[in-house]
Amino acid sequence: MNRARADEEEYWHSSKFRAFTFDDEDDELSQLKESKRAVNSLRDIVDDDDDDLERVSWSGEPVGSISWSIKETASGSTSSLEGRDSSLQKGSSSYAALPKQVSSYSLSSLFKGRNKLPSFQSLSDALTDTGVKNYAPELRRPKAEYKDYSSDWSPKDTVRRMQRGKVCSLERFRSLQDKLVLLDEAVAGHDGNVITAVLIFLKRTLRREILFRELEVRQVALCHLIHFLRETGEQKLLLDLLRFLDRTEEVALSQYREHLNIQDVEKRREFLKGCIGLPFSAEDTSHIQDHYTLLERQIIIEANDRHLEMAGQSELFRKYPRKASILNMPLVTTLFYSCFYHYTEAEGTFSSPTNLKKTFKIPDKQYVLTALAARAKLRAWDDVDALLTTKNWLGYTKKKAPIGFHRVVEMLQRNNAPVQVLQEYVRLVEDVETRLNLATKYKCHDVVIETYRDLKDRIQLTAYKCKVERGSAEEEKINSILNNMQIRWKN
């Protein structure tokens, strides 16, 4: 039984959750493996004419993907499609994945960084006849039909026409009342496109205070204007609007959001400093303060460590070169970094873990967890031991972990801890079944043997004899336990 298979089997046997384990006796994963073997064994019969197969293709569609071609254009090859297509005809089905789109989820998040105020020209110009749909034959009527700016469409008819994508002049809605009736009609039509079009017109033809005042009692229209301003990046107007509405928290958040667009760290730090005074809730103010302090620290640490690394004096940096800069990383990542590179530093330095812990009031549990991960990564087992050891008031030491010991074991094992180290913590896993599983998996023989002894399970203990080496101390131990007449075996 190979190692991987044993692991997986154990996984299923050890899992307590029934719905995901299987009723019948035969192990489904081995079934899966078996299927795989069966299928693979057929490969030699099958693989002879792959190409033919690929054209039969599960995709059921002719190969010649557009995404694939674009990837090619993007990667610099500017050859035209002619050549490409012929290669596709051969039936290559290895599509390259498209690069991941940056936040394709939100329309609004796509529109950052432009603060240019638009010059408002006449909307009617914008809505001339080029806007007419011209693909459907029945729409191809004389243009005169669409040129109806002068005719007196009622607000309702105007909205209805706009909903159908037709061109309508809004210029004739000049009195405030007319404008508002038009807006209300647009809102009643539930078409965001038309509502926005009317809002663009109102924004251009009304003083902002008046526009704001009227929108305050028209929530739907207001939402659309806010969305529109976000999209077009008119941040200043947006903030004015939010301030007018007394939505102070949104003002603060909206301003704070801008830091995401600032690439230069010094500028970003300055900007964050300015954010501290914004009207956030008390809770959020402290988060913003922490954000600022964190970046300030990171800038200092980064400058020092880059210097250290370049100088090549520090063995730690030579042995484990930094993979990325610490700038703009979360606090926990920063703490990990500091536990990794600056563990022994005195509390006075900005980069010391204890200083970070104090400054940001990091809870004990979080601190120990992060330090454990960092020290285990360095395979500094003594530090690991120290982190997990506590003294009680009588001076006795005791092992204590902020998370279950099974997690500690996992973490150590991932970092290739030797059996002697692992064993100590496997022994502390409370749940017997989990302990046995982990001990067996990681070959902590002593723990397995002792656990079976405590369970008075002679059968399992006897069976375990074949898992240990012949003539080893472990085998001897098993034998001596089995021969111990004092133990009352349960089986």
Partner 1 sequence: MAFAGRRDAPEPPDFGILKRLARDQLVYLLEQLPGKKDLFIEADLMSPLDRIANVSILKQHDVDKLYKVETRPAPGASDQFCFLVRPRVRTMRFIADIVNADKMSGRSRKYKIIFSPQKFYACEMVLEEEGVFGDVTCDEWSFYLLPLDEDIISMELPEFFRDYFLMSHELWRDLEEESEGEGQGRKPEIGHVFLMDRDVDYVTALCSQVVYEGLVDDTFRIKCGSVDFGPDVTSSDKSIKVLLNAQDKVFSQIRNEHFSSVFGFLSQKSRNLQAQYDRRRGMDIKQMKDFVSQELKGLKQEHRLLSLHIGACESIMKKKTKQDFQETIKAEHSLLEGFDIRESTSFIEEHIDRQVSPIESLRLMCLLSITENGLIPKDYRSLKTQYLQSYGPEHLLTFHNLKRIGLLTEQAAGETLTAVESKVSKLVTDRAAGKITDAFNSLARKSNFRAISKKLGLIPRVEGEYDLKMPRDMAYVFGGAYVPLSCKIIEQVLERRGWQGLEEVVRLLNGNEFSVSDSTVEDNPAWESQRVILTVFLGGCTFSEIAALRFLGKERGCKFIFLTTAITNSARMMEAMIEARA
Interface with partner 1 in residues 388-407 (CB under 8 A): 403
Residue 304 or residue 359: which is nearer to partner 1 going by CB?
359
Tokens 């050549």 — which residue? 83
* 127, 129, 134, 136 alpha-carbon torsion, rounded to 10°: 80
CB of 391 to partner 1, least distance (A): 24
Cβ atoms within 10 Å of 98's Cβ, excluding its own: 11
Among 36, 140, 143, 267, binds partner 1 (CB under 8 A): 36
Residues 329-388 that bind partner 1 (CB under 8 A): 329-333, 360, 362-363, 365-366, 369
CB of 281 to partner 1, least distance (A): 10
CB of 400 to partner 1, least distance (A): 16
CB of 365 to partner 1, least distance (A): 7
Residue 161 or residue 465: which is nearer to partner 1 going by CB?
161
Among 1, 66, 144, 466, binds partner 1 (CB under 8 A): 66
- Give the range of 34-42, 174-182, 303-311, 480-488 binding partner 1 by CB under 8 A: 34-42
Cβ atoms within 10 Å of 445's Cβ, excluding its own: 22
Residues 6 or more apart from 96 whose CB is under 8 A from it? 68, 71
Residues 231-270 that bind partner 1 (CB under 8 A): 231-233, 246-247, 253, 256-257, 259-261
Among 91, 196, 316, 349, binds partner 1 (CB under 8 A): 196
CB of 38 to partner 1, least distance (A): 5
Among 29, 303, 432, 473, binds partner 1 (CB under 8 A): 29
**Furthest CA-CA distance within the chain:** 110
Enumerate the β-bridge partners of residue 398.
390
Per-residue x/- marks for partner 1, 401-440, CB under 8 A?
A: --x-------------------------------------
Separation of alpha carbons 16 and 12, rounded Å: 9
For every residue of 272-335, DSSP letters joined together read HHHHTTS---HHHHHHHHHHHHHHHHHHHHHHHHHHHHHHT--HHHHHS--SS--TT--HHHHH
Which pair of tokens denotes residue 267? 């500028």
The verdict on 226 binding partner 1 (CB under 8 A) reads: yes
- Give the range of 107-115, 315-323, 374-382, 392-400 binding partner 1 by CB under 8 A: 107-115
Residues 110-169 that bind partner 1 (CB under 8 A): 110-114, 118-119, 121, 123, 125-127, 130-131, 133-135, 162-163, 165
Separation of alpha carbons 333 and 295, rounded Å: 13
Among 13, 55, 83, 107, binds partner 1 (CB under 8 A): 107
Burial class of residue 202, CB neighbours in 10 A (0-12, 13-18, 19+): buried
Enumerate the β-bridge partners of residue 390.
398
CB of 70 to partner 1, least distance (A): 5
CB of 414 to partner 1, least distance (A): 10
Residue 196 or residue 205: which is nearer to partner 1 going by CB?
196
Among 1, 2, 3, 56, binds partner 1 (CB under 8 A): 56
**Of the candidates 233, 232, 250, the residue with the CA atom closest to the CA atom of residue 241:** 250
CB of 175 to partner 1, least distance (A): 22
Residue 93 or residue 304: which is nearer to partner 1 going by CB?
93
Residues 441-460 that bind partner 1 (CB under 8 A): none
Residue 227 or residue 322: which is nearer to partner 1 going by CB?
227
Which helix (H) or strand (E) segment holds residue 397: the answer is strand 397-399
Residues 6 or more apart from 196 whose CB is under 8 A from it? 224, 228
- Cβ contact 395:382 at 8 Å: no
Burial class of residue 105, CB neighbours in 10 A (0-12, 13-18, 19+): exposed
Separation of alpha carbons 76 and 409, rounded Å: 49
Among 179, 269, 291, 445, binds partner 1 (CB under 8 A): 291
Among 91, 109, 317, 443, binds partner 1 (CB under 8 A): 109
**Of the candidates 392, 113, 58, the residue with the CA atom closest to the CA atom of residue 260:** 113
Among 2, 60, 264, 319, binds partner 1 (CB under 8 A): 60
Among 193, 325, 479, 491, binds partner 1 (CB under 8 A): 193
Residues 6 or more apart from 313 whose CB is under 8 A from it? none
Enumerate the β-bridge partners of residue 389.
399
Query: How many residues in the chain?
Result: 491
Among 42, 188, 303, 473, binds partner 1 (CB under 8 A): 42
Residue 221 or residue 478: which is nearer to partner 1 going by CB?
221
- Cβ contact 374:339 at 8 Å: yes
Q: Which amino acid is at 80?
A: S
Residues 74-103 that bind partner 1 (CB under 8 A): 74, 78, 80-82, 84-85, 88, 93-98, 101-103
